[in-house]
């Protein structure tokens, strides 16, 4: 089956006329039987046998992670090519949007789910490293990180875990530590994100990382080579055995044997990354680069060809020139390794020595390894012997599958009969706010440096010191001589997604809009990281299709583009698939950050509800604490929502608003309580149109709690088609229906219940 290639140590010819399944197993490939037949036909047409290096390269390029072979047909029908009045400047390793007359902002969002399930610290850290590289290789300076995280329930009994499954508390602790250590050490603030819990993430956590950067327009660089004759320069960390078959590992289910794939997890090094980022930006500013791309999934096997083919060319590489961490690595390992902290430059021949000199001045290892050629092929030599020669359009084309799917129910059912009215509403409120799902996440937030670089205008926790409350969005001031800001948030509700993937996705987009509007930002772009189970299962593929259709419909209604993102499939364990999880990151523009408002209750100002509360209790936290199901999940109505959102933003810009908080998980009760954790209470009165528990706990979309500046109450009230005054400040937190008191709580007792759940489980 394998025959040594003459004059090429540790390189073998492979006989594809023998048992293809045995070849796949022996070489550790992820190629499917029909894909191997396609490969066999290609080499038959070439009139030769492939080398093991060539098969490994094709395996990387054709992985689900790299070529989107299951998701591409659905994405082409839905998300790809959406029209928006907001122009996308580029979609490459990161997306590029206009910030102001002189600057673009760059956006990247990726997942690192499978690696984090095996090695939560290393997996999450390298996720941060990868997303930073994506932004840097567009010529942008990273300015903020975002981390949407999803774990199993923290109280999961250990004896219920399947073999090889790590406890959610261990996974969460390791993931947060990895993000903390990497982000803090490279000096980029982690300013936004979310932490969600659901039993179906046990064993397969979702670790999504986003990054935003800023770049002067004339300094933006593309992820493609300049012209024939350009030289490839590999800079940064050395190439080792870490991260081998990383994209293959990410393209299959997790099981008890996945621990053996630990070598697929890359090893991050923020101390190497820091000077590497500065080096990349300096070389770009000096105009010494014709192209730049980071080494991520597939390593050299992907980046070399992609840089060339995106410019209409090919590449020739001398593989023995690559700096290695260990001796005696077989060429195929060098070619597909995903070792971290590596960047690839293309440089004109006359600038090679200058670039290498500057790399040395930053103490960053760099070496020229090849050149751009006219023919659209990847050619790799090893000590003078050709070991790979592949047509780039064949290798990057990849297979495409129109997977069968079973669409879930799109329609929203009728409300079910309401449960018996609670005997003690106060106890029910405490029971809800004591859930880790909605309890304070400051155990996570306080581990991150969210103020490094001094650009964070609104932080993830807001309010008086010692009495901070959660903010809806963070705001960055990216340009020194401008008051314009970027607002960042991330949202999706896995329980709502599980109940109805279409309407759950619509609600997620709307919640992103609400959170940005809460601080005075207008949504400008979205990034999406679509995390689902095994696409070969029709039910999972149906969830994916339903969610993508909602992404299309919501973005069309809001008129925003998806500027960046990825697809992460095969998020399954022996226990089944994760909930369908389209992780969203929203980026908004703020005209003047001095007008932004925070969510903490202030000492003066009446309290208003903007938007309408409905009896939509499906998937609500209230019903879940009671063990109840209801088909009527919250719906979205963008025709009524968008005007209200704009009116709210205008009210904030006109300084009519002193505090604002959106209503989502936990309903109005939780929203009020979170605002009051700043030390100022509220007395809220309902008008009796809905039952009190529905008023308190409904999670209807399109709503905000707004505290209005007393001087502008009249102007504020005239802005909206649906806004009503529901209360005023108080020493305590009081909920009333007419003259009847429903519940009364002190801020001290409620803050204790709200702050401790995660600390008690993880401290």
Catalytic (active-site) positions? 65, 112
HEC string of 12-23 equals EEECCCCCHHHH
Measured in whole angstroms, the distance separating CA 15 from the mean position of its chain's CA atoms is 42
Complete DSSP assignment for 643-696: HHHHHHHHHHHTT-EEEEEE--TTHHHHHHHHHHTTS-EEEEEE-SSS-HHHHH
Cα–Cα separations (whole angstroms), residue 705 to 456, 467, 708, 728: 24, 19, 10, 12
Judge whether 184 and 445 are in contact, CB under 8 Å.
Answer: no
Judge whether 398 and 67 are in contact, CB under 8 Å.
Answer: yes
Judge whether 176 and 145 are in contact, CB under 8 Å.
Answer: no
What are the residue ranges of helices labelled H in 262-376?
Answer: 270-285, 300-309, 331-336, 352-361
Judge whether 531 and 208 are in contact, CB under 8 Å.
Answer: yes
The sign of the torsion formed by the CA atoms of 113, 114, 115, 120 equals: positive
Cα–Cα separations (whole angstroms), residue 206 to 167, 203, 583, 602: 14, 10, 9, 36
CA–CA gap between residue 364 and residue 348 (Å, rounded): 20
CA–CA gap between residue 342 and residue 366 (Å, rounded): 9
Structure tokens at 633: 């999940």
CA–CA gap between residue 240 and residue 601 (Å, rounded): 53
* Residue 258: closest CA among 114, 125, 160, 127: 114
Residue 302, judged by CB atoms within 10 A of its CB (0-12, 13-18, 19+), counts as buried
CA–CA gap between residue 580 and residue 571 (Å, rounded): 10
* Phi, psi for residue 313 in degrees, rounded to 5: -125, -170
Structure tokens at 228: 């024939």
**Coil, helix or strand at residue 261:** helix
Cα–Cα separations (whole angstroms), residue 611 to 510, 597, 645, 702: 13, 19, 10, 6
Q: How many CA atoms lie within 13 A of 426 on its CB side?
A: 13
* Residue 456: closest CA among 444, 474, 442, 481: 474
CA–CA gap between residue 457 and residue 478 (Å, rounded): 10
């Amino acid at each position: 089956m394998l025959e040594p290639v003459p004059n090429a140590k540790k390189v073998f010819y492979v006989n594809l006329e023998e048992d293809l399944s045995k070849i796949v197993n022996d070489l550790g490939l992820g190629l499917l039987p029909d894909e191997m037949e396609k490969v066999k036909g290609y080499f038959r047409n070439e009139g030769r046998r492939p080398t093991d290096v060539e098969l490994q390269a094709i395996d990387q390029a054709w992985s689900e992670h790299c070529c989107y072979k299951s998701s591409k047909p659905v994405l082409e029908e839905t998300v790809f090519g959406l029209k928006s009045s907001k122009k996308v400047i580029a979609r490459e390793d990161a997306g590029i949007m206009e910030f102001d007359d002189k600057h673009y902002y760059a956006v990247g969002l990726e997942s690192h789910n499978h690696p984090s399930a095996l090695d939560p610290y290393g997996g999450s850290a390298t996720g941060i490293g990868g997303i930073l590289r994506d932004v840097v290789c567009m010529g942008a300076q990273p300015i903020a990180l975002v981390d949407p995280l999803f774990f199993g329930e923290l109280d999961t009994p250990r004896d219920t875990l399947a073999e090889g499954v790590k406890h959610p508390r261990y996974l969460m602790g390791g993931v947060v530590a990895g993000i903390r250590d990497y982000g803090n050490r490279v000096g980029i603030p982690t300013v936004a994100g979310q932490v969600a819990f659901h039993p179906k993430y046990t064993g397969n956590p979702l670790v999504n990382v986003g990054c935003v950067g800023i770049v002067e327009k004339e300094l933006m660089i593309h992820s493609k080579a300049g012209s024939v004759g350009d030289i490839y320069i590999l800079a940064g960390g050395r190439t080792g055995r870490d991260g081998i078959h990383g994209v293959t590992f990410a393209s299959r289910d997790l099981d008890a044997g996945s621990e053996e794939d630990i070598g697929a997890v890359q090893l991050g090094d923020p101390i190497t990354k820091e000077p590497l980022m500065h080096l990349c930006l300096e070389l770009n500013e000096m105009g010494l680069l014709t192209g730049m791309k980071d080494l991520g999934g597939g390593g050299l096997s992907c980046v070399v060809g992609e840089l060339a083919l995106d410019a209409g060319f090919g590449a020739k590489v001398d593989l023995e020139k690559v700096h290695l961490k260990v001796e005696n690595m077989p060429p195929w390992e060098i070619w597909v390794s995903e070792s971290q902290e590596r960047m690839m430059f293309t440089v004109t021949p006359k600038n090679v020595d200058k670039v290498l000199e500057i790399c040395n001045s930053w103490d960053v290892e760099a070496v020229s390894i090849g050149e751009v050629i006219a023919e659209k092929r990847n050619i790799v030599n090893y000590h003078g012997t050709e070991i790979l020669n592949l047509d780039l359009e064949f290798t990057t084309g990849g297979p495409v599958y129109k997977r069968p799917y079973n669409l879930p129910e799109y329609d929203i059912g009728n409300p079910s009969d309401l449960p018996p009215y609670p005997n003690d509403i106060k106890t029910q409120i405490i029971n809800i706010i004591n859930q880790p799902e909605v309890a304070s996440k400051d155990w996570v937030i306080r581990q991150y440096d969210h103020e490094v670089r001094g650009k964070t205008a609104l932080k993830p926790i807001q309010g008086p010191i010692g009495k901070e409350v959660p903010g809806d969005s963070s705001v960055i001031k990216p340009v020194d001589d401008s008051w314009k800001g970027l607002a960042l948030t991330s949202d999706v509700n896995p329980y709502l997604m599980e109940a109805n993937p279409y309407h759950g996705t619509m609600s997620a987009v709307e919640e992103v809009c609400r959170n940005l509007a809460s601080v005075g930002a207008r949504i400008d772009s979205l990034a999406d990281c679509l995390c689902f189970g095994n696409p070969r299962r029709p039910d999972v593929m149906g969830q994916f299709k339903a969610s993508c259709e909602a992404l299309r419909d919501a973005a069309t209604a809001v008129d925003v583009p998806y500027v960046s993102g990825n697809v992460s499939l095969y998020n399954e364990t022996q226990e089944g698939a994760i909930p369908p999880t389209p992780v969203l990151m929203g980026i908004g523009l703020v005209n003047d950050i001095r007008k932004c408002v925070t969510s903490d209750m202030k000492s003066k100002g009446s309290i208003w509800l903007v938007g309408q509360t409905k009896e939509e209790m499906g998937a609500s936290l209230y019903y879940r604490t009671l063990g109840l199901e209801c088909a009527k999940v919250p719906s979205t109505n963008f025709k009524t929502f968008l005007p209200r959102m704009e009116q709210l933003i205008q009210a904030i810009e006109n300084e009519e608003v002193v505090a604002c908080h959106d209503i989502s998980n936990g309903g109005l009760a939780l929203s009020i309580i979170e605002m009051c954790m700043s030390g100022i209470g509220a007395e809220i009165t309902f008008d009796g149109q809905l039952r009190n528990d529905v008023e308190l706990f409904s999670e209807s979309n399109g709503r905000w709690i707004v505290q209005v500046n007393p001087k502008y109450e009249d102007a504020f009230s005239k802005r909206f088609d649906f806004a009503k005054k529901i209360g005023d400040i108080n020493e305590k937190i009081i909920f009333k229906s007419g003259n009847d008191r429903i519940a009364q709580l002190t801020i001290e007792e409620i803050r204790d219940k709200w702050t401790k759940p995660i600390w008690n489980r993880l401290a």
